[in-house]
């Protein structure tokens, strides 16, 4: 009878051990599955974090970019002069002179000028070919962006004069045709020489042929008229008193809020011609902001996805480590009972999370290096291999992983050895 009892007891212990081991084996499978998912999650987070870091650094570089002009503190508006009432060039120019003179007299106004195309506006680009040698083959001519500007425009927007002079009221329809070019055109056309006094044939009439010869009187630094991201074509600026464009955009710079100038502008235009409407009134800053809007939106979107991914990765690491800590509760109890220090237990728990993070980061960096190439066209001032962006992503993941491990690790150190042993 005793043998039978012993035999029954042994069988019960054996069955219990098998069941216990089965639970451990099943738990190990669940742990490996969860750990694998967390590694993938971390890898994806690294890809998103690198992309977001690249976009943010690119956007910051864009914000620091000098486009060649100042937009702050300037009000812009357009006026279309009716040809029926201003049929001659003299009448057209006289209205512009009077309007600018009256606007300059407004208290607080420091500069007034007008231009055919406000930088970053949505008007079709005006451009054409140019040559610098008489009889040159037009098929090899270079294209330039054309703009008509009045005296005072360059001074108002803060353009930098590289050589020569700006336009004056003496550059009228009865004087020699003159132009101002940007420094890119000057370097291309006359490398190592001064462009002042040189002759250039351009296409102000949009005929497709450079037939109008003018003398260069000034060189300005290239202005980013059409794109904030890149320098596009060479630039030729015509004296608006010689090459009339209609409508024109006026720019009024002041020491006061641009919106406060609107009433004065409307009153002055109404006094000069009550039938002329002032339209498309907005601060110059709005054009500059709109030019950066797509980059700003893409940056915010990438950063949002990266933050969510980082949060999910942190939660995933926390979940896996908390699960592992529960499985190793008995082990930690034994270690503490045998005299292990809490810091040693914390180190064990954190090390497990760091290993997962390291594997995920390694895979993520490989994926990020490939994915970053897709962002190349959206980047400014940095390359897809920007080391700082990758460093930020790695540090962010490392900090998040350690933080996610810390709470389970702290809980592991407060386990009562007796309670841990009883739990088994």
pLDDT given for residue 338 in this prediction? 66
Band of pLDDT at residue 165, cut at 50, 70 and 90? very high
pLDDT given for residue 5 in this prediction? 38
Contact 66, 381 (CB under 8 A): no
pLDDT given for residue 76 in this prediction? 96
Weakest-pLDDT range from 17-31, 208-222, 302-316, 366-380 = 17-31
> What's the average model confidence in pLDDT over 304-311?
82
Among 15, 65, 31, which Cα is nearest to 316's? Answer: 31
Query: Could you give the angle at the alpha carbon of 60 between the alpha carbons of 370 and 301, nearest 5°?
Result: 60
Weakest-pLDDT range from 66-70, 270-274, 305-309, 326-330 = 326-330
Alpha-carbon distance of 252 to 157, in angstroms, equals 9
pLDDT given for residue 328 in this prediction? 64
For 273-338, where are the alpha helices, taking DSSP H only? 284-291, 293-327, 329-337
242 CB contacts (<8 Å, ≥6 apart)?
Answer: 171, 172, 173, 175, 177, 178
Alpha-carbon distance of 114 to 5, in angstroms, equals 108
pLDDT given for residue 337 in this prediction? 63
Alpha-carbon distance of 411 to 290, in angstroms, equals 52
265 CB contacts (<8 Å, ≥6 apart)?
Answer: 75, 77, 103, 250, 252, 278, 281
Among 380, 392, 389, 388, which Cα is nearest to 296's? Answer: 380
Alpha-carbon distance of 361 to 134, in angstroms, equals 63
Q: What are the pLDDT digits (tens) for 175-208?
A: 999 999 999 999 999 999 999 999 999 999 999 9
Alpha-carbon distance of 72 to 412, in angstroms, equals 58
DSSP string, 192-250: TS--TT-EEEE-TT-SSS--EEEEEEEEEPPP--S-SSS--SEEEEEETTTS--SSEEE
pTM recorded for the entire structure: 0.74
Are β-strands 199-202 and 109-115 bridged in parallel, bridged antiparallel, or unpaired? Answer: unpaired
């Amino acid at each position: 009878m005793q043998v039978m009892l012993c035999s029954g007891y042994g069988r019960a212990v054996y069955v219990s051990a098998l069941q216990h081991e089965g639970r451990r084996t099943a738990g190990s499978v669940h742990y490996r599955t969860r750990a694998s998912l967390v590694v993938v999650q971390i890898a994806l987070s690294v890809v998103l974090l690198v992309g977001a870091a690249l976009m943010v650094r690119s956007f910051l570089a864009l914000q620091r970019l000098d486009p060649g002009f100042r937009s702050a503190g300037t009000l812009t508006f357009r006026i279309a002069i009716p040809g029926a009432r201003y049929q001659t060039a003299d009448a057209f120019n006289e209205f512009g002179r009077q309007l600018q003179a009256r606007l300059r007299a407004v208290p607080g106004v420091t500069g007034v000028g007008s231009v055919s195309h406000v930088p970053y506006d949505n008007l079709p680009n005006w451009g054409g070919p140019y040559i610098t040698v008489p009889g040159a083959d037009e098929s090899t001519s270079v294209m330039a962006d054309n703009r008509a500007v009045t005296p005072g425009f360059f001074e108002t927007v803060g353009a930098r004069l590289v050589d020569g002079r700006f336009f004056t009221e003496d550059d009228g329809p009865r004087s020699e045709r003159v132009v101002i070019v940007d420094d890119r055109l000057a370097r291309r056309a006359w490398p190592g020489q001064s462009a002042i006094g040189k002759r250039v044939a351009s296409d102000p009439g949009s005929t497709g042929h450079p037939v109008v010869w003018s003398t260069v009187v000034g060189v300005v630094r290239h202005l980013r008229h059409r794109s904030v991201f890149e320098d596009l074509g060479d630039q030729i600026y015509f004296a608006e008193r010689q090459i009339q464009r209609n409508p024109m955009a006026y720019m009024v710079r002041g020491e006061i809020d641009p919106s406060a100038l609107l009433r004065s502008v409307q009153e002055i235009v109404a006094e000069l011609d009550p039938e002329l409407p002032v339209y498309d009134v907005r601060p110059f800053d709005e054009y500059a902001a709109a030019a950066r809007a797509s980059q700003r939106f893409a940056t915010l979107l990438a950063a949002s996805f990266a933050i969510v991914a980082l949060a999910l990765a942190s939660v995933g690491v926390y979940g896996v480590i908390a699960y592992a800590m529960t499985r190793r509760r008995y082990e930690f109890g034994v270690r503490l009972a045998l005299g292990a220090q809490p810091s040693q237990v914390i180190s064990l728990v954190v090390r497990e999370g760091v290993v997962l993070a390291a594997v995920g980061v390694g895979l993520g960096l490989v994926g990020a290096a490939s994915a970053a190439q897709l962002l190349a066209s959206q980047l400014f001032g940095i390359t897809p291999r920007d080391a700082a962006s990758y460093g930020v992503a790695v540090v962010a993941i490392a900090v998040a992983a350690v933080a996610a491990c810390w709470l389970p690790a702290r809980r592991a150190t407060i386990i009562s050895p007796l309670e841990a042993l009883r739990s088994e």
